[in-house]
Amino acid sequence: MSENNDPEITIPKATKEPTKSVINPLLERARLPGDTFRLPSCGVFYTNGELDDETEDGEVHVYPMTGIDEITISSAAKLFSGDGIIEVLSRCVPAIIKPKELLAQDVDFLMLALRKVSYGPTADFDKIHEDCSAEREENVPIRKQSFQANIAELLAQTKEIKHEDVATAYRVELDNGQIVKLAPMRFGPYIRLMQIVSQDIEGLKDENVQIETMMGQLADMITSVDEVADRAMIREWLGAITAGEVRKINEAISEMSVWGVNSKFKVKCRDCKEEMEVELPTNPLVLFS
């Protein structure tokens, strides 16, 4: 039997054609462009990657919320933890890298900015004029009245932090010569404080709990003491300085907090015709309902 010297025939394997992605034409106009806003902090305290590298002077672009975002930010469970706000800010404000590290006042501002770009420049709300002097029949309660807030106007009147004021307004020298550098409260510590207050009202009556809560809150707003930034050391130091020095730090914090968006404005009661001050809450459960 003779050997077969025919060359070996190789049959090429079938190749799978790459799947072509289908572009959904519905998405082209599904999301509106939003608007650009400058944070009231102007970004002066964000030196640890809180905002992306391209952000200048705290200017960020805010995109409208989607239906999913609205559900997320209005979730009672996620509101308590702050996770709903953090998730939505991450999606709607791409320039924000660390939402939990934003200053609390910047978050309040962004809540109103989100409301404006998502639903328009105004918001309707109900309010009772508790001090209404209008005559009414006996046992007839004071009625709720509907008002409209101009969110665009509130945002435009926001008070910004001035770069040149940071070195003085956020710095306090104690009688012992130590230099304390301060910063407004961040969103993360603010959420923790609200959780403590809402969960443990009875516990706050305890002297030790009161001290720990107050000192912890204070430590969160001190960036350094004599250039030492270790939070544990600062917390220990707060327990050692005099009551007068603690009071001086608290006074400095109170003075530095007068900035950000002011959601209070005056309206006229339709029953007694007197002016009353109302506040448009930045609570997502109310603001986005």
DSSP the chain: -----PPPPPPPPPPPPPPPPPP-GGGGGTS---EEEE-TTTTTT--SSSB-TT--TTEEEEPPP-HHHHHHHT-HHHHHHTHHHHHHHHHH-TTBS-GGGSBHHHHHHHHHHHHHHHH-SEEEEEEE-TT------TTPPPPEEEEEEEHHHHHHTPBPPPGGGHHHHTEEE-TTS-EEEE-PPBHHHHHHHHHHHHH-TTGGGSHHHHHHHHHHHHHHTEEEETTB--HHHHHHHHTTS-HHHHHHHHHHHHHHT--B---EEEEE-TTT--EEEEE----HHHHT-
**What is the predicted pLDDT for the residue at 196?**
72
pLDDT, tens digit (0-9, with 9 covering 90-100), for 181-197: 999 999 998 888 777 76
**What is the predicted pLDDT for the residue at 32?**
74
Mean pLDDT (the chain, rounded):
87
**What is the predicted pLDDT for the residue at 203?**
52
- What domains can you pick out in the chain, each with its CATH number? 32-129+144-159+261-287 (no CATH), 165-256 (3.30.2220)
